[in-house]
Amino acid sequence: MDLKPFNTFGISASCNNLEVIEVHDDFNKITEASNNQTKFLILGGGSNVLFTDQFNGTVFLIRTSGIEILEENDEHVTMSVAAGEDWHQFVSACLGKNYFGLENLALIPGTVGAAPIQNIGAYGAEVKERIIWVNAINLKSGEEVKFNTKDCNFAYRDSYFKQQIDRWCVTHVAFKLDKKYKPVISYEPLSSLYSNLDRKITAKEVFDKVVEIRRAKLPDPQLLGNAGSFFKNPVVKNELFTKLKYKYPDLPFYKVDDSNSKLPAGWLIDKLGLKGHSNGGASIHTQQALVIVNQNNATGKDVLALAKEIEEAVFNEFKVKLEREVRVIG
């Protein structure tokens, strides 16, 4: 079975079997595969994986659906959402019902179930801020466990589920959203929305601006295969940051705490003049250096080789180690 339609890189790779998980009882198939020591892979939207070889096992596509309101009052609404729901469609649906808090995370590819695993974030917001619990199945015992936010061990683009990727399968995620809008516009392109306004900004304006920014900076996977940001923004000790800032006065940064600063990985790559650089069919996107694209029928090995080139170049120049966001399968 060709996996090309099921990964946003558009990489051709085959698997032995493909199973679609559509209803809750279907999760038993994954537990059985785990207990039988069958090689398996769980895929949501396929927006954060890179296949570098054929997958000699079973791929489970999570396609469950359903949104259930758990509680609602004048201030908030809490809801349980099936893991297979499309993330952007869910964000759009919430906005349409005047449920606020996810606007900054619009247009992120993938499914609801993948959101807590990666702790997706963008434009000043992280999904952990809106999650109240995550329901997951222990793939060894079959037991279902409801994790509160503390137990999820959320960190920057990380979580307990990512750390234990082969042990747990997310089935539902519960969110608490506001019914009175409180804008989060610390990110510069969003703060500009307040310019020349003598009124409060709306959630729809923020949503539209985020979509506009993402479409301008990031290529549509339907048109040009990619997995969005390939690398995390590195966090470095301030000792190194001070040296880099002295050498590169225009280096942007975000203060993490008194000891660490976060640097934009895209800026580091762009500073090396690598936009447009290619390896085989893979290229660094000309508009956003943080994105590797499938420019010309790339193989997964092309993409990985290019990623390694980037990592080496950045380390040699800046002494900064880049960490991949994308999960390499192969």
Q: Which residues are catalytic?
A: 157, 229, 325
CA–CA separation, 10 and 51 (whole Å)? 10
Give the DSSP per-residue string, 38-71. --EEEESSS-SEEE-S-EEEEEEEE----EEEEE
CA–CA separation, 103 and 90 (whole Å)? 11
Q: 45 with 87: CB under 8 angstroms?
A: yes
CA distances from 147 to 88, 135, 152 (A): 24, 6, 6
Give the helix/strand (H/E) hosting 208: helix 203-217
Q: ∠26-132-230 over CA atoms, to 5°?
A: 75
Pairing mode, if any, of strands 15-21 and 55-62? parallel
CA–CA separation, 150 and 154 (whole Å)? 8
With CA atoms as reference, report the closest residue to 49 among 276, 330, 289, 281: 330
Kindly give, in sequence order, each residue whose CB lies less than 8 Å from that of residue 330, ignoring residues fewer than 6 positions away: 13, 50, 51, 52, 53, 55, 300
Give the helix/strand (H/E) hosting 168: strand 168-178
